[in-house]
Amino acid sequence: MPGDDMREHRHRSVLPFKAVPAEVRLLRQAATAQLGQWGMPHAVEETELVVTELATNVIKHVGEGTSATLVLERDGERLRVEVHDKSHSVPSLSAAGCDDECGRGLHLLAAVAEEWGTLLTAAGKAVWCEIAAPAGRVCHRLERAVHVLRSYRGIDDAARFEPARRGEVALRESAVELIADLLHWTTANGHDPDDLLDQAQMHFEAEMGAVA
């Protein structure tokens, strides 16, 4: 993923894209991968819906093939999704009827998002939505795990969509290597690897049950 700005509780990812139907699926995949790295799998469904509607709106109402940008920003327990384009035309719920596609899309965004709006910029506008995404103990564990795995083998964020998918494979390979190393450490220090795995499994099942 391109250029994340990492702080303690604030994360930001910027994804330029071309407003064509084929890229909408790639945007959803990239957003899902990013939320996984931030430990926010619980927000994937709403985020995929918002990303699809905002990107499709650019294709239909700004122009297919135009340049646009998807911005994902996590700040604590809130996730902000923005799509920037070069049009100064501002969408409005009051001006859009529920019977037209734009109206249905806007009402859908209003139903999913905690807040949404439009911000005019020097280059055009940004349509944004904020999604409530409370981060429980399991999500903090996911975020910490991704940080450890990326540091473990020096994995850098990818710059575009295809490398981002390869980055997920690299994280999985790092997880396998890390677990193997921990088992070696456990044995070398006179502990039972099966006992360690059983304890970890018990912690995992208890925490998953607590957030179910």
The string of pLDDT tens digits covering residues 136-151 is 545 566 667 777 777 7
Q: Which of 80, 114, 132 is the last residue of a domain?
A: 132
Q: Of 83, 110, 132, which one is at a domain's C-terminal end?
A: 132
pLDDT at res. 54: 92
- Please count the other Cβ atoms lying within 10 Å of the Cβ belonging to residue 136: 14
Query: Does 119 share its domain with 22?
Result: yes
List the single range of 9-13, 184-188, 201-205 with lowest mean pLDDT: 201-205
CATH of the domain at 104: 3.30.565.10
Q: How far apart are CA 107 and CA 112, in angstroms?
A: 9
Q: Are residues 126 and 145 in the same domain?
A: no
121 and 47 in a single domain? The answer is: yes
d(CA 106, CA 127) in angstroms, rounded, equals 11
Residue 5: band (very low, low, confident or very high) from pLDDT cuts 50, 70, 90: very low
Distance CA 198, CA 114 (A): 40
Question: Is 4 a domain residue?
Answer: no
Shared-domain flag, residues 128 and 159: no
Find the domain containing 166 and state its range.
137-211
**14 confidence band (pLDDT: 50, 70, 90):** very high
Rounded to whole angstroms, the Cα distance separating 33 from 37 reads 6
pLDDT bucket at 163, cuts 50 / 70 / 90: very low
Same-domain check for residues 192 and 145: yes
Domain count, the chain: 2
CA 159 to chain centre: 15
Query: Which residues does residue 125 pair with via DSSP β-bridges, in sequence order?
Result: 85, 120
Which residue, of 132, 163, 195, is where some domain finishes?
Answer: 132
Domain check: are 142 and 127 in the same one? no
Cα separation, 146 vs 153, whole angstroms: 11
Distance, in Å, from the CA atom of 171 to the CA atom of 1, rounded to the nearest integer, reads 13
Q: How confident is the model at residue 107 (pLDDT cuts 50, 70, 90)?
A: low
Task: Verify that 108 and 159 share a domain, yes or no.
Answer: no
Percent of the chain at pLDDT above 70?
73
**pLDDT above 50: residue 39:** yes
CA distance 149 to 113: 32
pLDDT on residue 209: 59
Task: Note whether residue 167 is domain-resident.
Answer: yes
Q: Is the pLDDT score of 111 beyond 80? A: no
More confident: 112 or 93: 112
**3 belongs to a structural domain:** no
Q: State yes or no: pLDDT of 155 exceeds 70.
A: no
Tell me whether residue 2 is in a domain.
Answer: no
Assigned domain for 94 exists: yes
Residue type, 208: M
- Give me the residues paired with residue 84 across strands: 69, 126
Query: Does 37 lie in the same domain as 22?
Result: yes
Burial of 201 by CB count in 10 Å (0-12 exposed, 13-18 middle, 19+ buried)?
Answer: exposed
What's the rounded mean pLDDT across residues 97-117? 65
Give the span between the Cα atoms of 1 and 27, in whole angstroms. 11
Co-location of 101 and 144 in the same domain = no
What is the residue whose two structure tokens read 């139903």?
A: 111
Tell me the pLDDT tens digit for each residue of 47-62.
998 999 999 989 988 9
pLDDT at position 199: 81
